[in-house]
Homo-oligomer: A and B are copies of this chain.
Amino acid sequence: MNILIKNAKVLVYENGKLLTKDADIAIKGNKISQIEKIKADSGFQKIIDASNMLAMPGLINTHTHLSMVLFRNYADDMPLFDWLTKKIWPLEAKLTNEAIYKGSILGIAELIKSGVTGFLDMYFFADETIKAALETGVRVYIARGLTDEEEGKEVQLNETRRLFNEYHNQEGRVKIYAGPHAPYTCSPRYLKKVIELAKELDIGIHIHLAETKKEVDECIEKWGKTPIKHVFDLGLFERPTIAAHCVHLNDEDIEILAKSNVSVAHNPTSNLKLASGFAPVEKMLKAGVNVTLGTDGASSNNNLNMFEEMHLASIMHKALNYDAVSVPAETVIKMATINGAKALGIEDELGSLEVGKKADIILIDLRKPHLVPLNNPLSAICYSAQSSDVHTVIVDGKILMENYELKTIDIEKAMHDAEDAARKLIGA
A131 touches B (CB below 8 Å): no
The contact of A369 among B315, B316, B411, by CB within 8 Å, is B411
A sample of 18 cross-chain residue pairs with beta-carbon separation below 8 angstroms, ordered by A number, consists of: A72-B370, A72-B384, A73-B376, A73-B379, A76-B379, A77-B325, A106-B369, A110-B370, A271-B319, A272-B316, A275-B322, A275-B323, A278-B319, A302-B384, A312-B312, A373-B422, A375-B426, A386-B388
List A residues 64-111 near B (Cβ within 8 Å): 69-74, 76-80, 83, 106, 109-110
A209 touches B (CB below 8 Å): no
A342–B196 alpha-carbon span in the complex (Å): 62
Stretch from A161-169, A230-238, A303-311 contacting the other chain: A303-311
The verdict on A372 contacting B272 (CB below 8 Å), with A303-B383, A383-B76 known, is no
Report chain B residues within 8 Å CB of A72.
370, 372-373, 375, 380, 384
Report chain B residues within 8 Å CB of A387.
370, 386, 388
- A75 CB to nearest chain B CB (Å): 8
A273 touches B (CB below 8 Å): yes
A328 touches B (CB below 8 Å): yes
Query: In the complex, which residue of chain B has the Cβ closest to the Cβ of A105?
Result: B369
The contact of A73 among B77, B110, B277, B384, by CB within 8 Å, is B384
**Across the interface, do B369 and A414 meet the contact criterion of CB distance under 8 Å?**
yes
A301 touches B (CB below 8 Å): yes
A77-B328, A83-B324, A109-B369 known; 20 new pairs, CB 8 Å cut-off, are A72-B372, A73-B374, A76-B328, A79-B323, A113-B369, A113-B370, A114-B370, A213-B322, A272-B319, A273-B315, A275-B324, A277-B322, A298-B384, A302-B380, A303-B370, A312-B312, A367-B415, A369-B415, A372-B418, A373-B419
The verdict on A324 contacting B78 (CB below 8 Å), with A272-B316, A318-B275, A319-B276 known, is yes
**Across the interface, do B422 and A375 meet the contact criterion of CB distance under 8 Å?**
yes
**Across the interface, do B273 and A383 meet the contact criterion of CB distance under 8 Å?**
yes
A326 touches B (CB below 8 Å): yes
- Lowest 4 A-B CB distances belong to which pairs? A388-B388, A77-B328, A73-B379, A302-B383
Query: In the complex, which residue of chain B has the Cβ closest to the Cβ of A415?
Result: B372
- A202 CB to nearest chain B CB (Å): 36
Report chain B residues within 8 Å CB of A298.
370, 384
A146 touches B (CB below 8 Å): no
A269 touches B (CB below 8 Å): yes
- A82 CB to nearest chain B CB (Å): 9
Report chain B residues within 8 Å CB of A316.
272, 316
- A338 CB to nearest chain B CB (Å): 18
**Across the interface, do B77 and A324 meet the contact criterion of CB distance under 8 Å?**
yes
**Across the interface, do B383 and A73 meet the contact criterion of CB distance under 8 Å?**
yes
- Chain B CB within 10 Å, residue with most, of A83, A278, A369, A388: A369
A147–B355 alpha-carbon span in the complex (Å): 55
A274 touches B (CB below 8 Å): yes
A380–B73 alpha-carbon span in the complex (Å): 6
A362 touches B (CB below 8 Å): no
The contact of A375 among B74, B77, B304, B369, by CB within 8 Å, is B74
A269–B312 alpha-carbon span in the complex (Å): 9
- A278 CB to nearest chain B CB (Å): 6
- A218 CB to nearest chain B CB (Å): 16
Report chain B residues within 8 Å CB of A74.
373, 375-376
Query: In the complex, which residue of chain B has the Cβ closest to the Cβ of A112?
Result: B369
A423–B388 alpha-carbon span in the complex (Å): 27
Report chain B residues within 8 Å CB of A70.
373
The verdict on A324 contacting B375 (CB below 8 Å), with A316-B316, A369-B110 known, is no
